[in-house]
Each structure stands twice: as structure tokens, then as C-alpha cells.
């Protein structure tokens, strides 16, 4: 039951187009907020809100890079990655290039 709840929570987080787009971009490697914002045309404060939700869910991690913040897939997510897919345990999410 706990796995089902965890999977449902992850799917709920990833159900948002913006957050799914962030994950898709991070599958190509770490990105700074400005790089993400250049391809996701929303207000930076809204993008930061989505990044916080992804961090809280354990999907992405943030690291200071000087004055900037560098985001990448969390090691636990990266370890479940197979090419352009992520295995969530209950299902696979595949991304087209």
C-alpha cells in the first residue's frame, strides 16, 4: 500500500505539464534555472515554485553553482532511468526527444 501511495504522489507531481517538461529537460543533463526558463516561457517565480515541488517530491535536486542554482535529476530517479524512460516502480514514463 505504501508503494501505491508513493507512486500516486509521484504521478500527481508529474501530471503538471511544466514539471514534466522540467524532468524531460533534466534527462539531458543538469540545467541552471535560467536555462530551464529560456525554454519554459513562464515567470521565473512560477518556475521556482514548480522546482520546489519537484525537489520536495525527491525527483530533482538543487546545488549551488556560484550565485546560480543547478538542478539535476535526483540520484534515486537517475538510478531508475533507462534511456529516455523513468521507472517509478508502478509504471514507466517515457519521453520522446
* C-alpha–C-alpha distance, residues 57 and 76, integer Å: 11
Which pTM does this prediction carry? 0.88
Confidence of residue 14 (pLDDT cuts 50, 70, 90): very high
Sign of CA dihedral 29, 33, 34, 36: positive
For residue range 39-85, what is the model confidence (pLDDT) as tens digits?
999 999 999 999 999 999 999 999 998 988 999 999 888 888 888 88
Tell me the domains of the chain and their CATH numbers: 2-94 (1.10.10.10)
Percent of the chain with pLDDT over 90: 59
Q: Report the phi/psi class of residue 65: left, alpha or beta, with left for phi > 0 and alpha for psi in -120 to 50.
A: beta
Amino acid at each position: 500500500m505504501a508503494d501505491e501511495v508513493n507512486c500516486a504522489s509521484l504521478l500527481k507531481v508529474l501530471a503538471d505539464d511544466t514539471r514534466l517538461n522540467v524532468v524531460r529537460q533534466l534527462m539531458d543533463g543538469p540545467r541552471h534555472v535560467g536555462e530551464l526558463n529560456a525554454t519554459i516561457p513562464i515567470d521565473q517565480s512560477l518556475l521556482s515554485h514548480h522546482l520546489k515541488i519537484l525537489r520536495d517530491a525527491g525527483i530533482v535536486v538543487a546545488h549551488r553553482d556560484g550565485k546560480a542554482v543547478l538542478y539535476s535529476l535526483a540520484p534515486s530517479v537517475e538510478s531508475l532511468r533507462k534511456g529516455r524512460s523513468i521507472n517509478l516502480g508502478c509504471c514507466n514514463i517515457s519521453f520522446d526527444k
